[in-house]
Structure 1
C-alpha cells in the first residue's frame, strides 16, 4: 500500500498524463491525490479508469486554476467524509487494520488567504478521533530550512503554520531524498526551491503504521515533485529510473561536445549500446551540472 501526492499543474497537458501513467506503472500506488488538475470531471474520470483505479472523487477547478482529485484502487475501501476547493477528506478501510482517515490538502496559493488553510486544518481536526494522515501541497513552510534561494520566508507564515501543527496534534513526517519539492527559475540567478509538499500524521496513525516512510520521487513533468508515503514498507527498493534527456541541457555548450565524444569513443559498439553509453554519460554529467 502506498499514497502518492502530486501537484500536477494541469492534467490537460499530454506530458503530465504520460508522466502520471509512468508513475503509476513504476510505483503501483493504492491512492493518488492530485492538486491543480485544471480539468473537468469527465477527463479525470477517463484518466482514472485508464490507470486502473475504481474509486474517484473530484473537485472542479475554478476557471483555469485549482481542481483536486483523489483516486483509489478498490472502490469499496474508501468513504467520502467532506470536500472543498482545498481538500478531500475520506475514511479508509484496509483489511486487517483499523479504519483511518486520509485528507488531501491543497493550501491556499494566495498568501493573503493563507489563514483559510490553517482554519481548514483546525476544523478538520475536530471532526474525528480516527488515526489521521494529511498529505498534499500545503503551500506552507515550517522553517527557513525549507527554502533555498530568494528572500527569506516571512516569519509570521512560519509561526502560523507551526501553530496549526501544534493545535491539531499533527507530526510533520521526515522526507527521505531531496529536501525540496517545488522549484522556479532553475539554472538562473533567480532559482528558488521550497518544500511545499509534505505529509502530516497524528500519533494514532503512526501507532497504526509505525514503519511509515515519506519519499521525494524527484522526477516530474510539473514544477512540483510527487511525494510517496509508504505506510508499512521498511525500505523502499526501486529499480533505476529510465534515462530522460533534459531540454535545459541544450543551453550548455558541453552537451553537444559530450554527445559527439561519447559517440566517437564507442564507434565499435552497435547502435543500441552506443545510445545507452551516451545516455549514461549525459546522465552523470547532467547531475554534476545541475
Structure 2
C-alpha cells in the first residue's frame, strides 16, 4: 500500500550545541502549523531548523527564515529539505543529494565541529538504494562526530509497525546494512512508539516508526547526553522529533527575550513607566544601560507573576496531546479520536 505523505515533522534539538527543528510538513504556509513551529522553536530554544517536504517553492525559504528570526538558510537540490540556523553556527554543505542534505556544522563559541545528514527518503525501496549508496560513500570521507536523522521511510524490525500486513525483514536489509557500514547506532527515543500514522480508522489504521536519529561512536564521545523525544503529531501524519545533545563543557547562558504579546496586556505600559521613572545616577550611557537592565528584570518578574510561564503552557499542551495520541494509537475508539481532535483544535486556534 502506498503511504501518501500528508504532513511530516521532525524536530532535532542539540542542546546547547544545536537546537534544531527538522519539520517535514506539507503546506508550510498553514498559519496554525507555522505558529506551532515558532512556539516550539522558542520553547526549546532552537537555533537550527529544517523543513522537509514543505510543498512550497524554495524561493520562499528566506521568507520563512526571516519570520523565524534566523540569518542563514539553504536547501537541497530537490527543494524538499530546508535548513535554517542562527549566528551561533557556521554550516558548510558537504553533499547536496536529492534524498539528504549533509552539512558540516561548526559551533563558533566552543569550536566543536561535527556532521549532520538530514534524510528525507523516497517511499519505494528501489528508489532508496541511491540514498544508502550515497551515505555509505560519505562514510569514507567523514571523520569525527556524525549523525544521520530524519524520515527514513522504512522500519528496522516488525515491532516498529502496528496494523496492516506483516512486515518482511527483507524490506529493511538495505537500510540496516547502510547504518552498519556507517557505524551508526540508534539513539532510541522517549515518548510514543510510532512516528507515523496513515490517519485511517479502525481496522485500516497503520502506525510505524519511520523517523529516527542515528549517530556514530564519535558523536557519543563528543556529547555527554543524547536524548530523542517524540513530540505530538498535532493533526499531521508524522510526529515531531526533538533531539537533545548536551556538550558537558558548554556553559548555559540565559538571555532576556521580549515577548510581543506583552504589549497587548492592559498593565504593560504601567510596568514600563514605573520602571523607567526610577531615579538613576551617572552619565547618560550608564543611566541608559541601568534603566534597560532594570526594565528587563521588571518585565520578567511581572510576566512570571501575572501571566505565568508561557513555555510551560506550551509544554503542558504538548504533553496532553502526546498522551491522547498514545491512547488513540493503542485503542482507536471514537471517544479517543474525538478527545484527540479536540486537543488538536485547542492547540492550533
TM, length-normalised to structure 1: 0.77
Cα distance in 1 between the residues matched to 2:60 and 2:88:
19
Q: 1:104 aligns with which of 73, 97, 118?
A: 118
| Residues 1-290 of structure 1 aligned to structure 2 (within 5 Å) | 1=15, 2-59=19-76, 61=78, 67-74=80-87, 77-94=90-107, 95-232=109-246, 239-241=315-317, 252=334
Could you tell me which runs of 5 or more consecutive residues in structure 2 were left unpaired when the two chains were aligned.
1-14, 249-310, 344-349
How many residues align structurally? 250
**Could you say if the C-alpha distance between residues 178 and 233 of structure 1 is closer, same or farther in structure 2, counting changes exceeding 3 Å?**
farther
Could you tell me which runs of 5 or more consecutive residues in structure 1 were left unpaired when the two chains were aligned.
259-278, 284-290
**Could you say if the C-alpha distance between residues 47 and 163 of structure 1 is closer, same or farther in structure 2, counting changes exceeding 3 Å?**
same
Contact 2:73–2:85, Cα closer than 8 Å, also in 1: yes
Which sits farther off after the overlay, 25-34 or 165-174?
25-34
Cα distance in 1 between the residues matched to 2:41 and 2:34:
11
SS at match of 1:5: strand
In the alignment, what sits opposite 2:293?
Answer: none
CA RMSD of aligned residues (A): 3.0
Quote the offset at 1:76 in angstroms: 5.1
Which sits farther off after the overlay, 139-148 or 220-229?
220-229
Cα distance in 1 between the residues matched to 2:182 and 2:51:
23
Cα distance in 2 between the residues matched to 1:78 and 1:119:
23
Q: C-alpha offsets along residues 122-159 of structure 1, whole Å, 9 cap, x if unaligned? A: 12212211210111111121111111111122321222
Which sits farther off after the overlay, 130-139 or 224-233?
224-233
Contact 2:193–2:209, Cα closer than 8 Å, also in 1: yes
Quote the offset at 1:23 in angstroms: 2.2
TM, length-normalised to structure 2: 0.64
SS at match of 2:174: helix
Bigger Rg over Cα = 2
Contact 1:40–1:60, Cα closer than 8 Å, also in 2: no
**Could you say if the C-alpha distance between residues 60 and 163 of structure 1 is closer, same or farther in structure 2, counting changes exceeding 3 Å?**
closer
Q: C-alpha offsets along residues 192-247 of structure 1, whole Å, 9 cap, x if unaligned? A: 1111111111100110013111111124342111111110189xx96312677x9x
In the alignment, what sits opposite 2:276?
Answer: none
Q: C-alpha offsets along residues 150-201 of structure 1, whole Å, 9 cap, x if unaligned? A: 1122321222211111111011111111111110134332111111111111
Contact 1:105–1:138, Cα closer than 8 Å, also in 2: yes
SS at match of 2:246: coil
Cα distance in 2 between the residues matched to 1:148 and 1:255:
17
Cα distance in 2 between the residues matched to 1:228 and 1:255:
24
